[in-house]
């Protein structure tokens, strides 16, 4: 028996025609084919898209029923292969007809609740495939999604049934509304007057609230810096400690070297004396002069590294705490700002989580760098606070979609955010931390800064698995004059 993929569709010229495999590849209608053993030989891309089962999962199997039903049963193509036309009526219960266009073909239409989220209405046509001798070598079945038509028909029928009732109901309602209209207008005029008065009061309160919030934001920032100062001092003590230790060790080494040099100086007049030579050799072996010569440069390198680390920590703290009321928009390297901020919050994070950096290729962006650093600091510190008693992880990623937009992502393995609190996390003064542990201004401040940069913040969280914040920022700062001209 020839394979189904070798069969060619009929044409006027017996030597012409289109190969079945080529036909399937370009056919826009969901289509599959089976051979006489009911094994799937073709499953095109339209079929994958409609039914959600890939070609790799289906071809070579007899599992095509799984795309339509929860229990195994034959499809139209199977019944055609089996030659059991009388069973078509049993399975499709009058929902089928003979195809007016295809000899030996059948058409049917039915609803399949297992396809998609809400089910689909499908119109399907099945027909036998024959070789050049007219022998049936398989069957082909095409599927068209007619859900929208079915839904529209049902909706139209329902609308028609309800129309008269709705008209009568609306007429009665209209009469009642008209009777109350004059009274409502009078009440609304009084309410409008009251609303204008309350609006004036609310405007004044909003101005006071805005001023108070700015003061609290600055106070929160200063409090954050003060909270981190103890950690920074601890970070400074560590390199200073091993610098001091190395210098002390270096002093001991130098004392030994000076003793050796003195011994050599003493031996100069009597260098030919065997006892003196033996004494010098013993002293050189005792102090391991070769090791000292190797270890002293290493100690000096460590000392220099410690000093550089101290300088970096202090400089980052100075940069972060700089008064930024008169900041200007400048082109900045986002990765350098993130690294500087991580250096500052190291003591807040390192005892709770491991920090991983997955940086993408980023262009410099036009921004207020210190404010972006503030956003990163708030997100990282919040991530550390969200991690429970067991050590977790914080991952910082960056990337860009195109030359106009970049993103910064902070993901933790903490406890996640409860659904009832998710809608309020950016509200000023809202916090889920214990009393005295937070002001509720960190995320509100971050949100305001991102809005100022014409960006946005996305949140993805799941209880018990952690939270991911993604900050989107444009690479160019929009011209305020251009923005105002574009506004209606």
Distances from the Cα of 184 to the Cαs of 133, 175, 176, 211, 487, in angstroms? 84, 14, 12, 39, 36
Structural domain ending residue among the three candidates 294, 317, 340: 317
Of 129, 145, 161, which closes a domain?
145
Domain CATH for 460: 3.30.565.10
Domain that holds residue 411: 330-486
Give the count of domains, the chain: 3
344 plus 262 within the same structural domain: no
The last residue of a domain, from among 87, 119, 145: 145
Q: How far apart are CA 425 and CA 445, in angstroms?
A: 11
Q: Which pair of structure tokens corresponds to residue 373?
A: 């650093």
Please tell me which residue, 477 or 304, carries the higher pLDDT value. Answer: 477
pLDDT at residue 410 in the model: 95
Asked whether the predicted pLDDT for residue 32 surpasses 80, the reply is yes
**Residues forming beta bridges with residue 107, ordered by sequence position:** 97, 125
DSSP string, 58-89: HTTSS-GGGGT-SS----HHHHHHHT-HHHHH
Indicate if 477 and 338 belong to the same structural domain: yes
Residue 118 pLDDT: 86
State pLDDT tens for residues 198-219. 888 888 788 777 766 665 665 5
pLDDT tops 50 at residue 13: no
Report the pLDDT value the prediction gives residue 409, as an integer from 0 to 100.
95
Note whether 471 and 337 are same-domain residues: yes
Count of residues making up the chain: 488
Is 203 a domain residue?
A: no
Judge if 455 and 347 occupy the same domain.
yes
**Does any domain span residue 116?**
yes
For position 7, what pLDDT does the model report?
A: 44
pLDDT value of residue 171: 80
Output the domain CATH number for residue 46: 3.30.450.20
- Check whether residue 454 and residue 370 sit in a common domain: yes
pLDDT in tens, 345-400: 888 888 889 999 999 999 999 998 888 988 999 899 889 988 888 899 999 999 99
Residue 144 confidence class, pLDDT cut points 50, 70, 90: very high
Residue 324 lies in a domain: no
Beta-bridged to residue 96, according to DSSP, are: 108
């Amino acid at each position: 028996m020839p394979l189904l993929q070798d069969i060619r569709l009929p044409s006027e010229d017996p030597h012409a025609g289109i190969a079945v495999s080529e036909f399937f590849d370009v056919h826009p209608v969901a289509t599959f084919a089976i051979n006489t053993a009911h094994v799937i030989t073709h499953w095109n891309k339209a079929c994958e898209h409609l039914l959600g089962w890939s070609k790799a999962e289906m071809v070579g199997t007899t599992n095509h029923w799984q795309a339509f039903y929860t229990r195994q049963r034959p499809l139209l193509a199977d019944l055609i292969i089996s030659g059991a036309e009388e069973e078509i009526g049993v399975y499709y219960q009058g929902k089928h007809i003979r195809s007016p266009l295809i000899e030996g073909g059948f058409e049917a239409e039915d609803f399949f609740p297992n396809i998609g989220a809400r089910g689909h209405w499908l119109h399907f046509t099945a027909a036998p495939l024959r070789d050049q001798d007219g022998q049936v070598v398989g069957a082909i079945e095409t599927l068209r999604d007619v859900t929208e038509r079915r839904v529209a028909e049902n909706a139209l029928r329902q609308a028609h049934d309800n129309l008269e009732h709705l008209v009568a109901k609306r007429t009665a309602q209209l009469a009642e509304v008209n009777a109350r209209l004059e009274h409502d207008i009078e009440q609304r005029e009084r309410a409008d007057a009251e609303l204008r008065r309350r609006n004036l009061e609310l405007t004044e309160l909003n101005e006071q609230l805005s001023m108070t919030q700015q003061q609290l934001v600055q106070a929160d920032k200063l409090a954050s810096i003060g909270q981190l100062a103890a950690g920074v001092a601890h970070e400074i003590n560590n390199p200073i400690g091993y610098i001091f230790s190395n210098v002390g060790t270096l002093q001991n080494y130098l004392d030994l070297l000076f003793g050796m040099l003195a011994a050599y100086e003493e031996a100069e007049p009597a260098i030919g004396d065997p006892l003196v030579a033996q004494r010098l050799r013993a002293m050189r072996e005792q102090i391991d002069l070769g090791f000292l010569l190797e270890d002293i440069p290493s100690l000096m390198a460590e000392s220099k590294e410690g000093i550089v680390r101290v300088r970096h920590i202090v400089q980052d703290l100075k940069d972060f705490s700089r008064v930024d009321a008169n900041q200007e928009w400048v082109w900045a390297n986002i990765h350098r700002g993130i690294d500087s901020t991580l250096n500052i919050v190291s003591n807040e994070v390192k005892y709770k989580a491991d920090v991983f950096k997955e940086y993408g290729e980023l262009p410099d962006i036009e921004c207020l760098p210190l404010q972006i650093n503030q956003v990163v600091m708030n997100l990282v510190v919040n991530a550390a606070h969200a991690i429970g008693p067991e050590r977790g992880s914080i991952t910082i990623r960056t990337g860009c979609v195109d030359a106009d937009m970049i993103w910064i992502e902070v993901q933790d393995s903490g406890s996640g955010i409860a659904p009832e609190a998710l809608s309020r996390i950016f509200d000023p003064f809202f916090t889920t931390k214990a009393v005295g542990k937070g002001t509720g201004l960190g995320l509100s401040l971050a949100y305001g800064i991102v809005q100022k940069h014409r960006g946005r913040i996305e949140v993805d969280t799941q209880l018990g698995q952690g939270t991911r914040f993604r900050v989107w920022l444009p690479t160019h700062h929009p011209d305020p004059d251009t923005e105002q001209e574009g506004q209606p």
